[in-house]
Every structure is written in C-alpha cells, then in structure tokens.
Amino acid sequence: MKLTPSADAIRLAIPALSLAVLLAAVFWLQPRAMSYIGLNLLFNLAVPIALATIAQMLIMSVNDLDLAMGTFVSFVACVAATFLRDEPLVGILILAGGVCIYAVLGVVIHLRGLPSIVVSLGMSFVWAGLAVLLLPAPGGQAPEWVRSLMTMKPPVAPMAIVASVVIAVVAHLIVMRSSLGVLIRGIGGNQRSVERAGWSVLAARAAAYGLAGVFAVLAGIALVGLTTSADANIALRYTLLSIAGVILGGGEFIGGRVSPIGAVIGALTLTLAGSFLSFLRISPDWQIGAQGAILIIVLALRLLLNRLENREKRR
C-alpha cells in the first residue's frame, strides 16, 4: 500500500463515519430534514455542546477530568442572561473572573497534587450555588447581539454547521498546531519529560484550564443565545455529554490523546442521536435508553474498525 493514512486520520475516520451513518439514517427517515432549515434545526443545540466538549477535551488532554462543566456552563448562562445584558462591563468582568478561577484551579491541582475529579466536584457545588443566587427562578433574557449572532442565517450552510466548522478549526489550530497545544498534550503524555525539557508544567496546565474556561464561557453564551432565557439547571447534562463527546470523537482519558475535530464531530453525533430517536417515534420512556444504546453501538463500531485496521497492519 502506498497511501498510508496517519494514525490521527484513522482516529478521526471512525467518528466521522458514525456521524455520516447517523445523518444518512435521519435523512432516510425524514427527507425534509435535508434542507437549510432542516439542518439548522437538527444541529442547532450542537453549538454549545461542541464548545463544552472542546473545553472538556482541553482538561482531559492534561489527564484531568472536569465534573463541574455542566454547572459552570449553567452559571455562565445565568450571567449572560442577566449581567451581560443589563451591565455588559460587569458581566464581562464576572466571566473573566470565571476563566481566572479555572486557571487558578489548574495551578492548585498541580501544586498540591490534588485529584481533579474531587476539586471539580467541589467546584460544581460552588458554580451551582452562584447560579442559584443569580437566578433563583428561570428567567433573564439573552443579550440582543448574542441572540442575533446565534440566529444568523449565513448563505450556503446554516449557522449551526458554520459555527461547528469554525469551532473545530480554531480548536484544531490551538491544540494541534500551536506550540502551547503541543505542550499541553505533552503533559498528558509524559509530564516528567516535558518538565525535564525545561518547560513550565505549571504554566501549561494553568493555560489548559484557562483555555477550557474560555470555551466553557463561550458555550454558556451560545446556549443563552439559543434558548433566550436561562435557568440555574439549564446545562447540567453537559458534564456527561461533554465527556461522552470527547470519547466518541476518538479522545482518550489519559495520555494526552485528543482530537479537537473529533470532539466536535462527537458532539454533533450526540445531538443528532436525539433527533434521530424522535424521528423513529420511539416511546418517550425509552428515549434516554436509546441514546445510551446509540453510544454503545458507535463505540462498538469503533472497536470493530480498530480490529480491522490492526489486521490490515499485520498482513
């Protein structure tokens, strides 16, 4: 064989294939979805999930896990629907503070050698509390500019698709092409060798956490742009969704092996799975269960393709 695709490309092929199969299934069930409006409706909610998935991916690339992602995105949504609209300056300051706290968490976790799972578990209570203080009852209103940005109708492809592509490209440039991204993934791969090479692991980990905070803030703002109002519990599902999205996209929990493009595809697949199920007219009782089943099937597919690929190699 002359054309041997790189390992990264193969890592990406499986998530892309699952998304294509699922999309084909949706089109087959509901041909009307194959239009500008149809696609926009299908993928609308994928934009905030994709951003949260990228944030989770950044944390996973330094071998950590963020269990506070859902509550932080909810908190950001609450800030965006209240302060960011009424007093933009205060709102921006609060959100910048949130990003700073994320970076500080990275520093603390590194310095004290704490388990990220527990620290983020504790933080999830803090963000939930702050969100409840801001919006005790569902309410607030999205800032005009966010609303118009999220409902924009660009030519050729719907906003949801355009935004997903932009997110994937930007994240790819940061994580795979920049030297900071290499450093961050290096910590996940072998922290000691990065240290020996003279880099500051502390700074890189803080940067990874800070960047994750930035993407999570964008996720919260994008979510409010779509839903127009916020609630303290609006994005609690995002913690598990974002982890599942990274894994579906070919990422791994340890070793700094992540793929930003894969993560966005994973988020799109998860969103599409929901629409697919409603097109199938499955009883609402089993909707969640079927979502679990789809997750299992996609991962089984990934195993199968990995096996085939290994057999090819051995030949």
User: What residues from 238 to 297 belong to the interface with another protein (CB under 8 A)?
Assistant: 240, 243-244, 247, 252-254, 283, 285-293, 295-296
Position 76 contacts another protein (CB under 8 A): no
Cβ proximity to another protein, 178 vs 306, nearer residue: 306
Beta carbons within 10 angstroms of residue 218's beta carbon: 21
Least separation, in Å, of the C-beta of 29 and another protein? 21
User: What residues from 100 to 119 belong to the interface with another protein (CB under 8 A)?
Assistant: 108, 112-115, 117-119
Using alpha carbons, select from 48, 53, 45, 42 the residue that is nearest to residue 15: 53
Residues in the interface with another protein (CB under 8 A) total: 45
User: What residues from 125 to 144 belong to the interface with another protein (CB under 8 A)?
Assistant: 125-133, 136
Choice from 42, 55, 73, 123 touching another protein (CB under 8 A): 123
Helix%, strand%, coil% for the chain, nearest 5: 75, 0, 20
213 near 120, Cβ under 8 Å?
Answer: no
Region binding another protein by CB under 8 A among candidate stretches 23-31, 144-152, 157-165, 298-306: 298-306
What x-and-dash track marks residues 33-72 binding another protein by CB under 8 A?
----------------------------------x-----
Cβ proximity to another protein, 107 vs 149, nearer residue: 107
Using alpha carbons, select from 233, 243, 214 the residue that is nearest to residue 75: 233
What x-and-dash track marks residues 191-220 binding another protein by CB under 8 A?
------------------------------
Q: How far apart are CA 261 and CA 171, in angstroms?
A: 8
Cβ proximity to another protein, 124 vs 164, nearer residue: 124
3-class DSSP assignment, residue 250: coil
Using alpha carbons, select from 288, 289, 290, 237 the residue that is nearest to residue 267: 237
Contacts of 35 (CB under 8 A, 6+ apart): none
Cβ proximity to another protein, 21 vs 121, nearer residue: 121
Amino acid in position 165: V
Least separation, in Å, of the C-beta of 156 and another protein? 35
User: What residues from 171 to 190 belong to the interface with another protein (CB under 8 A)?
Assistant: none
Least separation, in Å, of the C-beta of 74 and another protein? 12
Cβ proximity to another protein, 121 vs 149, nearer residue: 121
| Distances in whole angstroms, Cα of residue 260 to Cα of each of 69, 197, 226, 244, 251 | 17, 25, 23, 14, 9
Q: How far apart are CA 92 and CA 237, in angstroms?
A: 25
- 28-36's contacts with Cβ under 8 Å and 24+ in sequence apart are 29/276, 29/279, 29/280, 30/279, 33/275, 33/279, 36/157, 36/158
Q: How far apart are CA 192 and CA 42, in angstroms?
A: 44
Cβ proximity to another protein, 32 vs 192, nearer residue: 192
Residues that bind another protein (CB under 8 A): 67, 108, 112-115, 117-119, 121-133, 136, 240, 243-244, 247, 252-254, 283, 285-293, 295-296, 299-300, 303
